Amino acid sequence: GEGGGVRVNKALRASHSRRETDRLVAAGRVRLNGRVASAGDRLQAGDVVTLDGVRVDWAPLNGASGAAGGERVRFSYLKMWKRRGVVCTTDRRVRGNILDELGEVDGVGERLFPIGRLDKDSSGLILLTSDGGLTNTLLRAGERKRKEYIVTTHVPATDADIARLAAGVVITTLAQSDGRAKPLTARTRPCVVERDASPAQPARLRFVL
C-alpha cells in the first residue's frame, strides 16, 4: 500500500548519500524495473534497480524480504586481516581495493562492503558484510557508538604528544563526492588517548572515540 516499501533514494546507500542518490534519480540515471525512477518511488521485494545500466543489489542493504515465499534475506559476515596497501573501498576501479584483495568466497554471492575503514597504510582486523542495516547502525554518527583503537607508534609518545592527540589534530584525507575524490581538511574531535604499553610493546597507545 501507499507508504510501504523502501524509498528509492535508499537503494544506493552503500555507495552514495541520500542527497547524491536524489541527484542521480533527478538526472534519470536510476531505473526501476526498466523505467526511469522518480523521487517518490518505493521499492518492494523483487524490484530491479539499476544505476547507469548496472544492477544494484539494494535488498540486503535495507533488510527487504526475499522475492520468493517472503523469506528474510540471509546476510553474510566475514572478518579479514587487512594488510598495508589495501584500500577500504568497494570501487573495483581503485587499484588494491578490498574486494579484489578478498577474492571470491565460497557460499557468498551477494555484494559485500566493509564496516568502517582502515587507512591504506594501516593493517588490522576489519569486518565485511552484506547487512546494510548493521553497517548503518554501527557507523551512523547519531548512534554514538564507542570505538577503540590500539595504535603502535614508531617511538614512544611523550606526554605532550598524547595531550595534542587527545585535543584533536588537523588532517587531510580524500573524500568521495559524486564519484570523484576531493581533498577534505578538518580537525578531529577530542578523544581519550592513554598509554597501553607493555615491556614487549613500549610504544602502544589506546584511543577511545
Residue recorded with cell 592527540: 165
In sequence order, what are the beta bridge partners of 176?
Answer: 181
Q: Is 119 a catalytic residue?
A: yes
Q: Strand order of the sheet with strand 30-32?
A: 35-36, 30-32, 49-51, 54-56
Q: What are phi and psi of 38, to 5 degrees?
A: -120, 160
Q: What are phi and psi of 161, to 5 degrees?
A: -60, -45
Catalytic residue among 119, 161, 178, 196: 119
The CA–CA distances, whole Å, from 11 to 22, 58, 142, 206 equal: 11, 5, 21, 37
Residue recorded with cell 578490498: 98
Residues serving a catalytic function are 119
